[in-house]
Amino acid sequence: MFISLEGIDGSGKSTQARLLADHIRDTGREVVLTREPGGSPGAEEIRRLLVEGASERWSAETELLLFTAARRDHLERTIRPALARGAVVVSDRFADSSRVYQGTARADLRGQVDRLHALMIGVEPDLTLVIDADPETALGRGKARNAGEDRFENMGLPFQSRLRAGFLALAAEAPDRVRVIDGRGGVDDVAARVRAAVDAVAPAPRA
């Protein structure tokens, strides 16, 4: 099973991805916890080009190509081998981030994003959880934490609001795959909502 977590910067999805991986591991399954951009040695090198430096460093088009290159390497080296041996893959971001960041929030590139995805990636997670958070609160969190990896946070609050709307629209577009999780409240409250959403789709095997 392949699960992705999505959300705006500072939404808490990275913490939730880790807790979900722990939960699935506790049920006795092998879990590979991974992230984008990154998740394989080559993709982690590309990551630095994307998350560091000035906001205007890359155009949205160039960014899309770099994210797709990183995703292809991640898929080849990490995701496919893990799924092939029966592991559950939990990825902190996947293709929906490109659909929303490059496809709608930064520029109107959704057509190019979809064509490139079909051409070079071609797989979707079985389940995607969008951790929905208030853009202002989330931006404050992200900035406090991501010193040096703040290229997207520096695009500002209106950008984060467009991202949130983009993720909610995507969930409406693909309701069978994408579930919205209320990201308000404590970490444990949100983790319980995440577990409930996953268990509804893939009940834990009985020991």
Give which of 36, 30, 21, 32 is closest to 191, Cα–Cα. Answer: 21
SS3 label, residue 89: strand
For residue 102, what are its two tokens?
């490059």
As a whole number of angstroms, the distance between CA 178 and CA 173 comes to: 9
Chain centroid, CA 10 distance in Å: 12
Contact 35, 93 (CB under 8 A): yes
Answer yes or no whether residue 142 interacts with ligand TYD by CB under 6 A: yes
Q: Which of 37, 103, 125, 135 binds ligand TYD (CB under 6 A)?
A: 37
Q: Which of 2, 23, 36, 116 binds ligand TYD (CB under 6 A)?
A: 36
Contact 183, 133 (CB under 8 A): yes
Answer yes or no whether residue 146 interacts with ligand TYD by CB under 6 A: yes
Strands (E), the chain: 2-6, 31-35, 88-92, 127-132, 178-182
In the range 148-207, which residues lie near ligand TYD by CB under 6 A? 152
The CB-of-29 to ligand TYD minimum distance in angstroms stands at 24
The CB-of-86 to ligand TYD minimum distance in angstroms stands at 25
In the range 47-106, which residues lie near ligand TYD by CB under 6 A? 50-51, 67, 92-93, 97-98, 101-102
Number of shown-chain residues binding ligand TYD (CB under 6 A): 16
Give which of 20, 13, 48, 16 is closest to 204, Cα–Cα. Answer: 20
Residue carrying structure tokens 């390497």:
73
The CB-of-206 to ligand TYD minimum distance in angstroms stands at 34
Answer yes or no whether residue 40 interacts with ligand TYD by CB under 6 A: no
* Residue whose CB is less far from ligand TYD, 34 or 88: 34
The CB-of-65 to ligand TYD minimum distance in angstroms stands at 11
Amino acid at 199: D
Instruction: Name the residues that contact ligand TYD, by CB under 6 A.
Output: 9, 14, 36-37, 50-51, 67, 92-93, 97-98, 101-102, 142, 146, 152
